[in-house]
Structure 1
Amino acid sequence: MQNLKLVGTAVTRPEAVGGLFTLEDGGDWQLADGIPTDAAVQAITPHPSRPDVVYAATRKGVFRSTDGARRWHRLQVTDEPVQFWTVVVHPQQPDVLFAGTAPVGFHRSDDGGETWRQCRADYPERFKISFGASRVMRIAFHPTDPRVMYAIAEINGFLISEDGGETWRGEHEGILALSQLPHLKSKLETDDDAEGMFDAHSVCTTTADPDAVFYICRLGIFVSHDRGKHFRDLEVGKQAPFSYTRDCRFVPGAPRKLYACFSISSRSNAGALYVSDDLGDNWRRADAAVTPRSTMMGFGAHVTDPNGIITVTRGGQIFYTTDGARSWTEKQLPANAGDAFCGAIL
């Protein structure tokens, strides 16, 4: 582990910096070379098998570093005026990348990012929202079936591909059924009280239960074993003081261990990182030693060492651990940084 920390921010107020900040042990936050300060970094993806390669999805394109996040350059993905909100590396094919956009769309590279082609996404907007088009926030792979991939769109629900990412369609049946339950009705941006269940933030899978797909939205965490036709509510709100869920991931080398960051709402004065050792059935707080003072927007786990985790809050509090959450270090971003959305630890 290099103990290099990376945090992506967005331009969320006048004069704020929406770029990539880096931190080395004993140093201060520095802006990464090659990513504009108004790019709005939404996802940071270290390559799982190439330690010096890191990707960043921004609202101004996809960027790549080949020297351990020191210098970056923009990849030519498309000439279309789209924003990029996620980029992922195929777990079995290290040269295959997928990037998700706003409006909802998918792009694929088979050569590590040198060339790209657009995949087909038959997915009309379900809601009209005030903060722009729906966006692909996360992409996940079925652990054993290379044909099956999953994605989520904020604020447009669950998508599936059954041909290795070439074509995508919405799968709404299971989400709609949940949205009819009284305690899962929620509307903030629209007049449709199914909105809350479609306000998706993350999706993940694990080799410990290959057919399970975990769907994360502002109302909690839900799991399906039939590709989204039915979901079970993990009822995280019964074990945590709040259930607004922004991010959820399994850590490398621990396929039953699931981390999630919970808060009160998109903009709030509290947040926390929780952990489950049994695929989400039971939860406990992982960062009880720290006090986040705003919504925890995301976190990153080291790609080979499960002891390395970094969490980010809207207000710029950054927490990281290198000993599996036994102890934490806090490092506040500079005052001019925009809201923090994502983090990674190398």
Structure 2
Amino acid sequence: MRDVIFVGTAVTRPGAVGTLYRLRAGGEWETAEGIPADAAVQAVTPHPAREDVVFAAARKGLYRSTDAGETWSRIDVTDEDVQFWTVVVSPHDPDVLFAGTAPVGFHRSEDGGETWKKCEADHPERFDMSFGGSRVMRIAFHPSDPDVLYAASEVNGFLVSEDGGRTWRGEAEGILALAAQPHLKNTELTDDDREGMFDGHSVCTTPARPDSVFYVGRLGIFETTDRGKTLRDLEVGKSAPFSYTRDCRVVAGRPESMYACFSISSRSEAGALYRTHDLGETWEEANPGVLAKSTMMGFGVHVSDPAGVVAVTRHGQVFYTLDGSETWHEKQLPSDAGDAFCGAIL
């Protein structure tokens, strides 16, 4: 582990910096060379097989570093006017990548990001939202079948591909069934009380239970074993004081262990990172004593070392551990940084 931390921010107020910040543990924050101050970085993805390669998905483009984040260059993906919200590398082939966009769309590369092809996505907008079209927040591969992929859309639910990501469909059956339950009716942006269940933030898979997918969103974490046709509520609110969930990730080398970040809502004054060692049946606070003063918006785990984790709050608090959650360090982003949305660690 190199003890290098990345945090992405967005321009969320006049004069704010929405770029990628880089920190060597114990040092000071620096802005990334090659990523504009108004790029709005939404996801940072270290390549799992190439230690010097890192990708950053931003609302104003997709970026790549080949020197462990020292310098960055923009990748030409498409001429369409889209925002990039996520990028993922296949665990089955290190040259295969997917980038997810807003409005909902997918782009596939088979040569490490040099060239890209747009995929087909049958996923019309379900709601009329004030911020525009929904976006692909996270993409996950089936652990053993390279033809099967999953995605979460904000605010448009769960998607599935069964042909290696070339075509995608929305799978709403399981979401609609849960959205009919009184305690899972929720609305913030529309007058449709099914909205909350369709507010997907992430998807997560693990070799410990290959056919399971964990669908993460506004109302908690839900597990499906039949590609979205039915969903089981993990009821994370029984373990944590809040259940608004932004992300869930498996710990390297420990397929039954996961981290997830919980808060009250998208804009709140509290949040915490939790972990489970039994695939979500029980949860415990990963960083007890750490006081998050705003919503915990994202986090990253090291691709091969279970000791490395970094978590970020909307208002720029950054917490990281280099020893598997035994001790935590806090490093606030500079005062002119925009809202923080994602973190990663090399």
Greater mean alpha carbon deviation, residues 161-170 or residues 124-133: 124-133
CA deviation profile, 1:267-307 (whole Å, cap 9, x unmatched) = 00000000000000001000113110000000000011011
Greater mean alpha carbon deviation, residues 23-32 or residues 237-246: 23-32
Tell me the equivalent position of 1:85: 85
Matched AA of 1:240: A
Matched AA of 1:161: S
CA deviation profile, 1:194-243 (whole Å, cap 9, x unmatched) = 00000010001000000000000100000011110001100000110000
Which sections of structure 1, spanning at least 5 residues, go unmatched?
none
Query: Alignment partner of 1:291: what SS?
Result: coil
Matched AA of 2:120: R
Matched AA of 1:100: G
Query: Alignment partner of 2:237: what SS?
Result: helix
CA distance in 2, matches of 1:302, 1:39: 24
Question: TM-score, normalised on structure 2?
Answer: 0.99
Tell me the equivalent position of 1:42: 42
Query: Alignment partner of 1:315: what SS?
Result: coil
CA distance in 1, matches of 2:285, 2:25: 26
CA distance in 1, matches of 2:289, 2:46: 27
Tell me the equivalent position of 1:75: 75
Matching of residue 157 in structure 1 with residue 141 in structure 2: no
Tell me the equivalent position of 1:63: 63
Tell me the equivalent position of 1:287: 287
Tell me the equivalent position of 1:131: 131
CA distance in 1, matches of 2:286, 2:300: 14
Question: TM-score, normalised on structure 1?
Answer: 0.99
Q: How does 1:176-325 map to 2 (within 5 A)?
A: 176-325=176-325
Runs of 4+ that moved beyond 6 A:
none
Query: Alignment partner of 1:74: what SS?
Result: strand
Which sections of structure 2, spanning at least 5 residues, go unmatched?
none
Give % identity.
69
Query: Alignment partner of 2:151: what SS?
Result: strand
CA distance in 1, matches of 2:75, 2:93: 19
CA deviation profile, 1:48-67 (whole Å, cap 9, x unmatched) = 01000000000011100000
Query: Alignment partner of 1:94: what SS?
Result: coil
Matching of residue 11 in structure 1 with residue 11 in structure 2: yes
Q: CA deviation at 1:258?
A: 1.1
* Number of aligned residue pairs: 346
Query: Alignment partner of 1:197: what SS?
Result: helix
CA distance in 2, matches of 1:289, 1:66: 37
Query: Alignment partner of 2:320: what SS?
Result: strand
The answer (yes or no) to whether the contact 1:6–1:23 under 8 Å persists in 2 is yes
Matched AA of 2:246: R
Tell me the equivalent position of 1:118: 118
Q: CA deviation at 1:19?
A: 0.1
Query: Alignment partner of 1:336: what SS?
Result: coil
CA distance in 2, matches of 1:260, 1:15: 31
Q: CA deviation at 1:25?
A: 2.7
State the Cα RMSD in Å: 0.5
Matched AA of 1:4: V
CA deviation profile, 1:133-159 (whole Å, cap 9, x unmatched) = 100000000011111100011000000
Q: CA deviation at 1:132?
A: 1.9
Matched AA of 2:183: H
